[in-house]
Structure 1
């Protein structure tokens, strides 16, 4: 099995965020990604079990648990006002960093990388609900943020399938 590369992690992150941002009432969400028409004989190893929908579901529950925090709500103000994608990336990054400094995220048993992931998911989902017109921009900004800030760590862990 080939090692997980940053490009693989970037692709996995984009897939997870795509499903994370899907509307709950859409019926066409596929449970697994297409395998280019190949059928696999035998049991699948843990390394072959990447499921972006399952991962998105888990991250959504974590993100929903954080949305009532005061610091979290304060971090939202700047992002909804930022129009340009570059400005959104900067404000998104600052917002996630601010959320990570709150008592909600500072749990010693949770790695700093997972705290960044949890905070970015909570922030992104809240923004999607409060500013649906920015959905595509938020997806791109969130994907870029996670890939740049925790992508190397995810690759070292073996990808999203090993982390969640």
Structure 2
């Protein structure tokens, strides 16, 4: 049974919490929560966050990533954090960095948003909570329905 949108939103928040925790900090792998999940679900926020972190590390090495971040910094000076974050992700996705025919556009958005989110967290630790909120809002708004249709985060974890 596919999860509903509320479960996917909850999963997204759990993934972001794991993604933004220091890599050295221990985070339990057992999920406690008020939401009931399908027992056949392969959802583990720590594993998904680790995969997103690896994707982000790869994107961080690409010169086009720096260009997208420079544009994000300019935009952030004049727009709200969420709008600037979304613009930065879209710019990165439009560059050749994320343009691969074998990758679904939704997965490109997930990868780019994780890379930008981690970059901002590491570069501007004082903005960590704002970036987490912007990342969660972006993922839920732009790919939440797609993740739900695919069966939840456990089914679409980036590789």
TM-score, normalised with respect to structure 1: 0.85
> Following the alignment from structure 2 to structure 1, what is the Cα–Cα distance between the partners of residues 137 and 106?
15
Q: Max radius of gyration: which structure?
A: 1
Q: 2:130 aligns with which of 118, 129, 137?
A: 137
CA contact (8 A) 1:80 1:127 kept: no
How many residue pairs get aligned? The number is 153
> Following the alignment from structure 1 to structure 2, what is the Cα–Cα distance between the partners of residues 8 and 126?
27
* Structure 1, 70-79 or 5-14: larger mean CA deviation: 70-79
Aligned-pair RMSD on alpha carbons?
Answer: 2.0
1:78 CA displacement: 5.2
**What is the aligned partner in structure 1 of residue 141 from structure 2?**
148
1:31 CA displacement: 1.4
> Following the alignment from structure 1 to structure 2, what is the Cα–Cα distance between the partners of residues 83 and 139?
18
Instruction: Tell me if 1:69 matches 2:62.
Output: yes
Secondary structure in 1 matching 2:92: helix
Output one character per residue of 1:33-84: Cα deviation in whole Å (capped at 9) or x when no partner.
1267xxxxxxx9532x311011101111011100122222122235456379
CA contact (8 A) 1:71 1:98 kept: no
| Residue pairs, 1:14-163, within 5 angstroms | 14-27=13-26, 29-34=27-32, 46-47=40-41, 49-77=42-70, 79-80=72-73, 82=76, 87-163=80-156
In structure 2, do the counterparts of structure 1 residues 78 and 107 end up closer, same or farther at CA, with 3 Å as the change threshold?
closer
**What is the aligned partner in structure 2 of residue 11 from structure 1?**
10
**What is the aligned partner in structure 2 of residue 40 from structure 1?**
none
Output one character per residue of 1:86-141: Cα deviation in whole Å (capped at 9) or x when no partner.
71111111100010011121110000000000000011011111111111110010
> Following the alignment from structure 1 to structure 2, what is the Cα–Cα distance between the partners of residues 31 and 57?
12
CA contact (8 A) 2:64 2:97 kept: no
Query: Which 4+ residue blocks in structure 1 deviate beyond 6 angstroms?
Result: none
> Following the alignment from structure 1 to structure 2, what is the Cα–Cα distance between the partners of residues 79 and 137?
15
Structure 2 gaps, min length 5:
none
